[in-house]
Chain A
């Protein structure tokens, strides 16, 4: 009975995407999920009656429009709703506002520095150039630099050419960019602390690095990649919370005949004669299939649910050395009304955007110092949003839901496991910071879900609570993701594949890893490809 053409372990958004494309090709597919609900880190839950939380991921900016369209996710109920702008509050009672309208943005920057306002255009052009280099590779399997296969050679050549076409000066800029820290990168353009700090946030989110750590300029890019060519609606909230994305993917998957099985905790991938043959659950149930795809991070995939004796030592070593350090936590808060912030009119549309309180690179770097010392930041960097100002389904009318992403929180506190007291301390540092800027905030709190890396790991199964399933540094990107030699979604075991954020192009609710992996699996099965190509980017 439990016989399938393919089994996907994990109903995260990548597992569901992968399953959808395999099922669309006519395969009989089951997606097995450990939790009683689907979505993994793409989930909405009603933990306080009337309030919905996007418990983990909270904005949809990277989800590939090619996939949304191809799997008809809007028809399956997905609606992504844009929000605009954001602000960084400063300690002197002012703020820096980030407007989506170019001219309004100029004026706001000029209020702080005319020179910065003017430099922004140069910054935007230089950053877009870098985005354009990487974006064509999102919906593609990275080429293997050591392979002599025609496909790899062609792709590598193309990759190299796009860099060589830049000309010497821009090529040097590019090499610098890919290795630079976001702080140094921004210092080349701007002089105002708050402006730099506002922009630097994207360079550290989800990364166990500081604004002055090399490689963080790229992380900044990773957050900008979603914005496709001026197409409206690329960046926003999923209406009903991020779980709406998983729900729509699941409906698409089921519309092709796929089966989602919850409360199915996979214990081990069954390997017979060097080939994947199925999986065994913790409760002993077995599911058989010649194709097994893991939606788990690379560490769990190879060190947890695969028998080490089925794997070459080389892979075990690489999996063990894979960098996947937790760096973030989250608070989801039910509010009795709208908090007011110093200096900003509560009717200002910036309130519906991303709000922050770290007004200098120095403060951000100090927050990282705490992480290095093995504790949560006492003056954390927050990426705070009030989705209920955009999506009326998240909280009762007039009430609000607040999502607070917190950097930094270490995977272990001074080398030991998190305790409940630590969690309270972490929560307090966040609430104290917000209260410093919002006099009525504390009194509005009705319920708060606090998630340290401990909870993120336990509930979502993200090792160390690393939100991107592995750091987004160059040594773990493209043909290095998750490890050199295994970046094309295949594992060393025949019939066993990877499709999680731990594979190219990496973390975030993008669905590209799941789709790219499906393309490779279908190619191995000599089935027609069902996965769309990326939109041309010019």
Chain B
């Protein structure tokens, strides 16, 4: 008999037996209530697997919602800020959704699986919000999170490895495209999507296929130098590639307690995802007003001088504090020191020269550094492979 209740134990993903076997460092984190590896064997080498070969990341804990019914598209057009009709069948669109005040709740990807059949893949749980929004629409929302296991297979050799797995002609798949295959008699879906800025795919299977998928990928990928990667390596890749992260770069609007801590799409540099041509969507009037009257903040990507990451830094203009850093890293491939910051208007336009107030510790001694930085207009890491079709072999 055990003396301890295991009720509060973290859940494991369908890949767990395999993940655990490869997690040399035994370094685990909690993601959405799931036990997931922070790192498998070496954060640096895992990161470089994504940039040079293939890195595999277990993204099963992502929230997945199936949206079907005659009004599926109309429903989504109401829910999200961009024009959903522009996402064709077997295509994926990056999207954000706002509350009625035009404040961002989350970002995610929308997979169009059929005429009126969609899947939303989101970072946050959204059962409640998605359900409230069905009022007046003939649509069904199903939480599929536990019935789909997913792997991000990212990096220059990823197309070759997945092709060996049976994903025929995968190199013809365009960015944001979806292809359907079968794997050991069960469906396997591949989307050319990811969070790393490189050539890469996400592979979706029923949980029963998970272990076999992992085994085959690693067997077939050996000659293509496939490696598992944990969340620390992914974090580095996503900052370098310019992707925002909920709860890090912005607060999901519904979770915010303190006044003024939410952000609009414009304030996150995501104005391009807002389509005012649509007559009605959540947050439209508030966003229209903001567009006319101006935003409070600006999202800025900063190229920071020197090599000390500007983590948690204040951003100054002259003596005045005008912003704070949300994500920062020394980017190993671009060899640049990058930070994302929320800057008070009117500061932070592209080209603006600011100062990052960086604190760092060496041998218990803290140093304050005032590093000049400049607002840049695009992510520092740009891999041509990400956009090439046919996808390159390595």
Known: A74-B381, A233-B335. A349 touches B45 (CB 8 A): yes
The CA of A236 and the CA of B44, in the complex, are separated in Å by: 11
B53 proximity list for chain A (CB < 8 A): 390, 392
Report yes or no: A82 in contact with B307, Cβ–Cβ below 8 A.
no
- B83-91, B115-123, B326-334: which lies at the A interface? B326-334
Known: A82-B48, A84-B44, A239-B52. A232 touches B332 (CB 8 A): yes
Report yes or no: B335 in contact with A236, Cβ–Cβ below 8 A.
no
B contact residues, range: 20 to 34
Closest to A396 in B: B223
The smallest C-beta distance from A255 to any residue of chain B, in angstroms, reads: 16
Known: A74-B333, A536-B306. A100 touches B42 (CB 8 A): yes
User: B131 near A: Cβ within 8 Å?
Assistant: no
The CA of A343 and the CA of B241, in the complex, are separated in Å by: 40
A292 proximity list for chain B (CB < 8 A): none
Number of contacting residues on A, CB 8 A? 33
- A65-73, A164-172, A484-492: which lies at the B interface? A65-73
User: B125 near A: Cβ within 8 Å?
Assistant: no
B51 proximity list for chain A (CB < 8 A): 79, 81
The smallest C-beta distance from A114 to any residue of chain B, in angstroms, reads: 22
The CA of A513 and the CA of B224, in the complex, are separated in Å by: 37
Closest to A347 in B: B222
Question: Which residue in B24, B332, B369 is a CB contact (below 8 Å) of A233?
Answer: B332
In the complex, per-residue mask of B291-306: 1 if CB is within 8 Å of any chain A CB, else 0 = 0000000000000001
A101 proximity list for chain B (CB < 8 A): 25, 42
The CA of A75 and the CA of B24, in the complex, are separated in Å by: 34
A349 proximity list for chain B (CB < 8 A): 41-42, 45
Q: For chain B residues 215-242, which have a beta carbon within 8 Å of chain A?
A: 223-225, 236
Known: A84-B42, A392-B224. A231 touches B48 (CB 8 A): no
User: B102 near A: Cβ within 8 Å?
Assistant: no
Closest to B53 in A: A392
Known: A84-B45, A392-B156. A65 touches B335 (CB 8 A): yes
The CA of A82 and the CA of B233, in the complex, are separated in Å by: 13
Known: A69-B336, A239-B52. A393 touches B394 (CB 8 A): yes
In the complex, per-residue mask of A39-75: 1 if CB is within 8 Å of any chain B CB, else 0 = 0000000000000000000000000010011000111
The CA of A278 and the CA of B44, in the complex, are separated in Å by: 47
Give 6 A-B contacts (CB < 8 Å), ordered by A residue. A69-B334, A74-B333, A74-B334, A231-B330, A349-B45, A392-B53
B residues whose Cβ falls under 8 Å from a Cβ of A: 24-25, 41-45, 47-48, 51-53, 156-157, 160, 223-225, 236, 306-307, 330, 332-336, 362, 367, 369, 381-382, 394
Given A69-B336, A392-B53, 17 other A-B residues pairs in contact with their CB atoms under 8 A? A65-B307, A69-B335, A74-B334, A80-B333, A84-B42, A100-B42, A232-B332, A236-B48, A389-B225, A390-B53, A390-B225, A391-B52, A392-B157, A392-B224, A398-B223, A535-B306, A536-B306
